[in-house]
Structure formats: C-alpha cells, structure tokens
Chain A
Amino acid sequence: MNKIRTVITALLLVSLPLSCWSAGLSREQIKGLDEQVQDIKKDVLAISAELQLLEEKLLYPSTSQVSLFVSMSKEEGYSPDAVQITLDGKKVAYHIYSFKEVDALRRGGVQRIFTGNIQSGNHQLDVSVIGKKGGSKTSRKITYTINKGVGPKLIEISLGSGSSAIKILDQ
C-alpha cells in the first residue's frame, strides 16, 4: 500500500512539472531543481558521514582497530607503482597506483590502505613497494613491529626517494 502511494506521489510530482515544461523551460525551474539536487546531496553526505562512524564503531572498535596509511614525500624523483602489505605474514593489502593517485599523494593526500582488527601485543608488519626512480625500476621492503595497545593504532607508511625510502611513523 505504501509502495503504491509512493509511486502515485512520484508520478504526480513528475507529471506536474512536465505540464509546465511542455510550455518551455524557465530559469526558475532550472534553479529550483538545482537547489533540490543540492539539498539531496547534503542529506546523502550526512548519511555517508554517519555510516562511516557506524562502520568504524561496529566493525573496527578502538580496542582492536589498526589502520595503515600511505603517504609520500613531495620529491619529484620517485613514483610508486604498487604496494603490498602483510601483517603477521598474512597479505592484508595490495594496491596499484594510478597517475591521479600518485599526484594526490605527492600533494599531501594520505591513502588509508587498510583498516582491520588485531589483538593487543606485538605484530609484524611487512611493506614492499615497487616504483620508479629517475626512469629505473626500484623495489623496496621494510619490516616493522607494531605494538598494539588499548587504543586504536594508526601507522603511517611514508614513501620517498631519500636515503630512508620507506619510513614507518607510529602514531
């Protein structure tokens, strides 16, 4: 019954403006619809933000949450092609970078590559990155021990072309 009501309402709403449009489109109509689109964007954005918080609370509670982020230095010389991450010997993330993504990283953006749950204590993190430096291919690896405490664990994997090509920043 509700569905039928919704459909009828929708049809009425669609048919009403149609009769106006048949006489031609006015600027007010275009503006009015544009404002309605902006309103629904606002609503959907609010739902999206709430869903994100719910997802984090439900699936990744702070006691067990671990999040891995990839960032990059602003140096022009190095460009990553792909990154692979294992946690306690288990492959948890693999990503191939597009040009846009590399550019976003270089401009200061940070990619959240993995969010998961681990128990308190020590865990082994292995990061391997393949990329290009000055036209030649490079392959880099780093191993790090994550000490998971009570709160959420945030680990930043910083890629660069300097002496310490991969840096792990434990927050």
Chain B
Amino acid sequence: MSHRIIIFLSIFFSAIVYAENKNTNNKDLFFNEGLYYAYQEQYFDAISKIDAELGQYYGLDEPELNSLHFYLNHAEFSIGDFELYYRMHNRAGRAIKSVLEGNVDDEIRNGAVYRLAKIYHQKQQPINALHTIESSKGKIPDKIKYDFELLKAQIYISNGRFQDAIKILSKIENVSAVDGYASYNLAIAYIGNNEIEKGILQLDTAGQISSSDKYVLGLRDKANLVLGYKLMENKQPYRAKKYFDRIRINGPFSNKALLGSGWASVADEVPKKAIVPWTILSKRNVTDQSVQEVLLGLPFAYGKLEAHGRAAILYGNALETYSKELERLDSSIKSIREGKFLEAVVREESRQDKNWLINLRNLPDTPETHYLMTMLASNDFQESLKNYFDLDDLQKKVSSWDGYLDSYTEVIAQRQNYYTPIFPAMQEKFRLLDSRMKLRLEQRNKISERLNKMLIAPRPDYLAKVNERIVLNNLYAIEKKYTTGKKPLPQSVQARINRLKGAIQWNIETEYQERFTQADKNLRLLNTHVDKLDENYRSFVRTRQAATQSFMGYADQINQLKNRIRFADEKIKLLLARQGHMLELMSIKELSNRRKRIEELQIKARFSIAESYDRALKKQQNIELEKDKAKALLIQEAAEAEDIYQRALKKQKLEQEKIQNNKEKLKAEEVQDKEEKNEGDK
C-alpha cells in the first residue's frame, strides 16, 4: 500500500515538475526583450518595454493564459530593480517595498533590501538606510553576504552607532571578500567611538594589507594617510612620517602623502629630510592642491636650512606659477559662464569614455578640468551630472515623439480617405450576404434537427427525392382536379394513380435507410462548407473591424499624448536648464574656492619672498662686514708686521752698525795696540 502511495506521489510530483519546466521553457518574448535592453544598461528602454507588457497583461480578460503570467513576480521586481539603476529611487523604493512586503523568498527580499539601503546610504539618508537594512530577515544571498554586513556597519557608523558597527566589523575584518574595507571602517568606528589608540592601531593594520586589488591598495594608502595626519594632529611627527612614507608614490594619495611627509620632517626639526619629497612633489601637475601648497613648503624648508637665497628664488617661482594659475582659473570660470563646459559635457564621445572629464583637457575652449577632479568625485556632482545626461536623453526622445505622432495622424488620415468612400457600398453588400447566410444557416439547422428527430421517429416522406415529390404532387393535383367536379374518377384512373403512388411510396420506404445515411453524409459535407463559410464570415468581420479601427478612435488619444509630450518637453527643458546651471554653479564654486586658496598662497609667498630677501641680504651684509673686519685685521696685522719688520730692520741695522763700529773700534784698537807695540819695540 505504502509503495503505491510513494509511486503515486512520485508520478504526481514529476508531473508538476514537468509542467513547471514546460511553462518556464515557454519564455515571454516581450519581457525578455526588456531584459535585452537592461543587460545593455539601457534602462529607459527596458523599463518602458516591460511597463508596456505589464500594462497589456493587466488589461487581459484571462491573464493566466498569457506567457508573462509565469514571470509576473520577476517582471514586477525587475521594473523596480531597473528603476533603481535608472536613479529613480523614489519610485523604485515603492516598487521594491512592494516586493519586500510581498510573499517572496527571503533571499530575493534581502537582495532588494541591500540595494535599497545602499541607495539611501549613497544619497546620504542614514535614517532611511538604517530602517531598510534592519528590515532584513532570514537568509542573505551568499553573493552579497559580506557586502551586506559591511554596508550595515557603514550605515551604523553614519548613524553614530559605532559600537554596533565595531561588533559587525570585528567579525568580518579578516574575510577576503571585504578585505581592506572592513579593516578601514573598523578603524573609523573605533575613532568615532573615542577609542583613539585602538583606532590608530587598526589604521596601522589597515595600512599594511597586502593585495593586488587597486581599490584595496587605494584604501590601504588612505588608511596610512589618515593615520599620518592624525599623528601630526597629535603632535607626533616622528611617528607620522613612517605612515606617509608607506603610501605608494604613484597612487591617488601620493601627492598628499609627499606633502605630509615633508611637513612631518619640518615639524620634527629635520627640514633637510623634507627637501626630497617636496622637490618630487613640486615637479608634478601644478593644478593639484598639494603641489600648489608645496611651492611654498619647499622654499620654507630651504629657509630653515639657512639657504635664504635659494628660498627667495623658489618663492619667486611660486608667485609666478600662482599668477599663471589664477589666470587659468579666471579663463575657466569665464568659459563655464559662457556655457562651454556644458557643451563639452554633453558631447556624445564624452559619455562613451569613463575618463571623459580628463579628456576634456584635450578639447579646445574647455575649462581646466584638473581643478574639478575633487568635485567630480563627489556624489552630488556625479548624481547631478547623471541627471543632466538623462534629461538630455529624455529631451531627444520626447522631441522625436512629436514627429511620430504627426506621422500617425497622417497615416490615419490616409486610411480614412481610402476607406470612407468604399465603406457604404461594402456595408450594403455585407448586409445582403449576411441575411442570406443567416437564412441558409437556419435551413441547415432545421435539416439537422429533422434528421435527429428521424432517428427516433422515422419519416421516410421527408427523404423523398425531388422528382418523386413532383410526381406525387402531380398525382395529388389530378386527384383534386377530378374530385372537385363531384364526379368520381373512373376506377381505372384511380387504380393507376394509386399504383403510381404506391410505387413511389415503395421506393421511399424501401430506400429509407440508404437515403437517411446519404442525407447524414450530405449534412456532414454541408457542415464543412458551413464552417468554411463561417470562417470567411469571421475573417471578413475582423477585416472590416480592423479597417474601421485603423483610423477611428485615435484622435483623442493622439491629442492627449501630444499635450502630454508638449508639457513633458517644456518641463524637461526647464529642468535641463536648472540642472545645467546647478552643474555650472558647482564647478564655478569649486574653481572659486581654489582661486581663493591660491590667492592666500600668493599673499603668503609675497611675505615669504620679502622675508627671504631680507634674510639673504642680512646674511650678505654680515658676510661683507666680516670680510671688512678680516681685511682691517689683516691690514692692521700687515702694518704691525711692517712695523715689526721695520723695527727689526732698524734693529738689525743698528746692530750691524754697532758691529761695524765694534769692528772699527777693534780695528782701531788693534792698530793702536800695534802702534803701541811698535813704539814699545822701538
């Protein structure tokens, strides 16, 4: 018994599976057409096509017979999902909410929760993001399991719930899927929770992650940069330099790192060590803010090293650079005000290329977009720019639609001109044919009814042939004719008439079965002809209906659509102007801020150059003074030496004279002695 049940259940379920497969194999081509556009990121077309298909589906009398019926949830969900991609989170939020509240699988619902919460988080709506992410329950799809946790932690951070964030991030810190991101966010959560030392340690860990992923490497650099500046803030420059030096020389944070490294050395009273990073930085693109700052930093370091002359020259160079950059900024602001920025932005080629803003530099008459890099990265600018692109696309679409409607009106008018004159005659013929057809169909129905009755109560007379009927009628007419004269027919005639009637009746009675079969066959044949006739009739009705519908009943709809299109067109133009102006203002504001900063640097450079010249002059004067002193000393020493020399010479002369005198004296004495001796001898 139990075996039987198992077999029955297995057959039952296999039948269900087969039926489901059969249904799912039978795809809804129009829904899949929408997916075709969505997979190419053409979300407007995707939404519009699926919307149209859903509209048709809901207008059907028996929607369950439509192939979309099997994909209805998928289609409804996709619409919401594509609207999110098309940056329509207000509407998509509602659509996804309907999915969230619907009876769908946990994984599907949590996937939608993730997408919606992410949008709120990106749009800086932390409370909405928190409510959405906390509405998840059940299993999270494996594909987004860790991204979901990371997003949840980020939302907690943006809502100031640092401890909750720490709990989540501590668990996923070492998961490779979110490697780097979790570690960095954990550090931010610690710092936010006022656990500064833990935060610093965590940033140190995040700053040493090894990865080949360029985004993770970027995050690693960012961790080191944040840590470096945090330590500078805490007056620990000797520790900060280590973290600045960890940052990749060609990464996105390298300019800030080189600047920080130099300042750390200067703050640590080792200005000599600032020269190398700052010299490297000073040779980079001058539109970068760090490069502009270092143009003052480098001479400052030389000044610290008592190289005031070199410092003064570098300050002079900085002043020259600042003047040039101010001119460029002024011309950029002017260019934006003239609308050239927007013109360049909406060029088709710029949309195809992700680096379009960088490439704008190569186009003539476009602003210096390097200054807009920081602003470009901001979510507000990105969203505004995408909105501008979308509005521009919408305007192109809407403009072409008006032309479509004009063509439709023309087509309708032509059809009306063609059909209107031929319609009355056609209608008359149709009416005639219609009445004849109805008559014949009635006759056929009567015959059919009669044959059915004859199955129960045979009526051979109904099956008499035409000639038999004629002969019988003639016989009855003869009988009638002769009986009206109240004179009976001669017996022989009456006998002949009866014989003839009998012969005919005999044939009718004896051939009844045969005739009945033949009649049935003929009726069946007639039925096929009637079916054919019916088909032609229906086809004719449809054609006539199609012809009527090809030009009637469109006027109101087309007029309404035209009005809606005109209204939408005006609104788009207005929004496009406002959105464009907003982008221009954002750009001008950014450029003006940069301009202001350069002016501040320019003033500092002017003061510093004067100071450096003073110091250099003073040093020069000191050197000359020293030189004079040395010269005077030398002269004095020379005079003294001369004096000494003269004195020595004099002394020597005196001594020589003295010696000479002595010699002469001795000689004189000798001569005197000799003379005395000679006198004595004598």
Contact = CB atoms under 8 A, between A and B. Distances in A.
Contacts of B384: 30, 33-34
Interface centre among A21, A36, A41, A110 (most CB of B within 10 A): A41
Contacts of A107: 35, 39
A34 B589 contact: no
A31 B27 CA distance: 40
B539 A150 contact: yes
B37 A109 contact: yes
B49 interface: yes
Contacts of B568: 40, 43-44, 47
A169 B661 CA distance: 149
Interface string B36-49: 11111100100111
Interface residues of B, number: 70
B307 interface: no
A37 B390 contact: yes
A171 B29 contact: yes
B335 interface: no
A25 B587 CA distance: 11
B582 A25 contact: yes
B373 interface: no
Nearest to A30: B380
Given A30-B582, A42-B91, A58 B32 contact: no
A36 B575 contact: yes
Interface in A30-61: 30, 33-38, 40-55, 57-59, 61
Contacts of B39: 100, 103-104, 107-109
Nearest to A70: B36
A15 to B, nearest CB: 10
Interface in B412-428: 412
A105 interface: yes
B18 interface: no
B492 interface: no
Contacts of B380: 27, 30
Given A14-B577, A58-B411, A109-B38, A49 B29 contact: no
A104 to B, nearest CB: 4
A18 interface: yes
Contact of B561 (A42, A54, A171): A54
Contact of A35 (B48, B90, B550): B90
Contacts of B578: 13-14, 17, 33
B581 A18 contact: yes
Interface in A1-21: 6, 10, 13-14, 17-18, 21
B589 A13 contact: no
Interface centre among B387, B542, B589 (most CB of A within 10 A): B387
Contacts, number: 174
Interface string B215-248: 0000000000000000000000000000000000
B359 interface: no
A71 B124 CA distance: 41
Interface stretch (B261-269, B278-286, B391-399): B391-399
B40 A101 contact: yes
B397 A48 contact: yes
B546 A51 contact: no
Contact of A25 (B27, B398, B401, B585): B585
A16 to B, nearest CB: 10
Given A109-B38, A111-B33, A42 B88 contact: yes
Given A33-B578, A33-B582, A45-B51, A63 B404 contact: no
B543 interface: yes
A12 to B, nearest CB: 10
Contacts of A120: 539
A49 B51 contact: yes
B570 interface: yes
A94 interface: no
B582 A58 contact: no
A110 B29 contact: yes
B391 A154 contact: no
B59 to A, nearest CB: 9
A112 interface: yes
Contacts of B27: 71, 110
**Pairs A-B, 10 closest by C-beta atoms:** A109-B36, A104-B39, A110-B32, A48-B48, A49-B51, A49-B52, A52-B52, A109-B35, A37-B387, A100-B40
Given A108-B35, A109-B32, A109-B40, 9 more contacts: A47-B564, A48-B397, A54-B557, A55-B404, A61-B549, A67-B29, A109-B38, A111-B33, A112-B29
Interface of A: 6, 10, 13-14, 17-18, 21, 24-25, 27, 29-30, 33-38, 40-55, 57-59, 61, 63-64, 67, 69, 71, 100-101, 103-105, 107-112, 120, 150, 154, 156, 171
13 contacts: A33-B575, A40-B391, A40-B571, A44-B568, A45-B47, A51-B561, A54-B561, A57-B549, A63-B546, A107-B35, A109-B39, A110-B33, A111-B36
